[in-house]
Structure 1
Amino acid sequence: MSTTGIPVERTALLVCDLQNDFLHPNGAYGRAGQTAPEILALPERVKPLADLLRSRGGWVISTNFTLVPGRGGEPMISPHLKTLRPFLAKGDFKPGSWGHRTVDALQPVDVEVEKVAYSAFYMSRLEWVLAKCGVERLLVCGIVTNGGVASTVRDAHVREFDAILLEDGTAAFSREVHEVSVAALRPICRVATVARMMVEVASS
């Protein structure tokens, strides 16, 4: 797939936060009117790559933002997030719930990993899962480019994964923020399109 010689079997599409509570009209963000056309378009855009990668022996691994239920089922929300998204309520992003799940368009994923912060590596089992699957290369897609995606890519870089950012497989709540974030990530990872990676996976 690239000059590094990593085979497709050691490659994973890492899906960041493409969950019902973020994207579906009946999810937490949809009910609050917090969305963007670029975000809603992502599942269908990356689905062909997910299907192709899986058919060639690669992995599709989803990292799902999680609000851990506390006393009385009330979600444990950081003060920063509570200020930013005051509409988040009991039951949103609850482990095992419909809202917490990866969107139907990308099912079935091979492994789902709960995440509690911007980076999918922070205090999660992601690194353990990747090791068990033998994954060395990550094709990163999902939301948002300036938040969970950027943090996860940077953490993948310091852990010496071969991370490739899918420029048109990621999105933010504004096009400008997305483009600035992609530019900031270019020094630490390769940036490619979904179409380019489809070609590379198909020819591997």
Structure 2
Amino acid sequence: MSVSAIPMERTALLVCDLQNDFLHPEGAYGRAGQTAPEILALPERVKPLADLLRSRGGWVISTNFTLVPGRGGEPMISPHLKALRPFLAKGDFQPGGWGHRTVDTLQPVDVEVEKIAYSAFYMSRLEWVLRKCGVERLLVCGIVTNGGVASTVRDAHVRDFDTILLEDGCAAFTPQVHDVSVTALRPVCRVATVAAMLEELSAP
């Protein structure tokens, strides 16, 4: 489907997991030294596209990884994640908390949707929100390319959203993993750069 076939007001920048607890030095991952320069560069790179969408009637919708507080406020963490990221603790990615929020660079977002698994569609209200907003086209950015981004893109595809992966708007913990993941998604959706989408969407 061509970019011009869907109006701007039915287009959303879908921001996957660009949250303080992932990116900020004082967030959960920053304190643990779990980051990569490619990940930290994303908010500033994607910001011009978010600004364009806001100015032209489009949407900026973020999906925010969430650790649901359980008894005593202890987070409910899947065993595989606890083994992979043992530093996650009480208060990290807590709904309503500073760490849970989308980074300031990309604020204000129109809607923030809690997610609990790789795919932002899994057991969340994301699809409901997108349908209510009249969104037909998704420009997907965020982290990590091989995890939440890939799973969300595939689920968007099977739900018949016109999905475009922003190749340089996503990142993984290594460039090699990112590149392999993008290659695997090319049969699923269109892949474009942030600059290319800025040019196309800015056209009269």
TM-score, structure 1 as length reference: 0.98
Q: Which amino acid aligns with 2:104?
A: D
Residues in 1 aligned to 2:18 and 2:8: alpha-carbon distance in whole angstroms: 23
RMSD of the TM alignment (CA)? Answer: 1.0
SS of the residue aligned with 2:5? coil
Superposed displacement of residue 86, structure 1: 0.3
Superposed displacement of residue 54, structure 1: 1.0
Alignment of 1:26-65 (within 5 A): 26-65=26-65
TM-score, structure 2 as length reference: 0.98
Q: Which amino acid aligns with 1:151?
A: S
Residues in 2 aligned to 1:106 and 1:98: alpha-carbon distance in whole angstroms: 14
Q: Deviations over 1:11-51 (max 9, x none)?
A: 00000000000000000000000000000000000000000
Q: Which residue of 2 is the match for residue 173 of structure 1?
A: 173
Q: Which residue of 2 is the match for residue 23 of structure 1?
A: 23
Q: Which residue of 2 is the match for residue 198 of structure 1?
A: 198
Q: Which moved more, 1:134-143 or 1:1-10?
A: 1-10
Superposed displacement of residue 128, structure 1: 0.4
Q: Which residue of 1 is the match for residue 134 of structure 2?
A: 134
Residues in 1 aligned to 2:91 and 2:54: alpha-carbon distance in whole angstroms: 32
Q: Which residue of 1 is the match for residue 7 of structure 2?
A: 7
Residues in 1 aligned to 2:202 and 2:182: alpha-carbon distance in whole angstroms: 25
SS of the residue aligned with 2:54? helix
Q: Which residue of 1 is the match for residue 113 of structure 2?
A: 113
Residues in 2 aligned to 1:203 and 1:129: alpha-carbon distance in whole angstroms: 28
Q: CA contact under 8 A between 2:21 and 2:29: conserved in structure 1?
A: yes
Residues in 2 aligned to 1:188 and 1:160: alpha-carbon distance in whole angstroms: 11
Superposed displacement of residue 135, structure 1: 0.2
Q: CA contact under 8 A between 2:16 and 2:64: conserved in structure 1?
A: yes
Residues in 1 aligned to 2:85 and 2:111: alpha-carbon distance in whole angstroms: 28
Q: Does 1:69 align with 2:56?
A: no
Q: Which residue of 2 is the match for residue 143 of structure 1?
A: 143
Q: Which residue of 2 is the match for residue 160 of structure 1?
A: 160
The share of aligned pairs that are identical, in percent, is 87
Residues in 2 aligned to 1:177 and 1:28: alpha-carbon distance in whole angstroms: 22
Q: CA contact under 8 A between 2:3 and 2:200: conserved in structure 1?
A: no
Superposed displacement of residue 2, structure 1: 2.2
The number of residues matched between the two structures is 204
Superposed displacement of residue 4, structure 1: 6.7
SS of the residue aligned with 2:96? coil
- The structure 1 segments of at least 4 consecutive aligned residues displaced by more than 4 Å after TM superposition are none
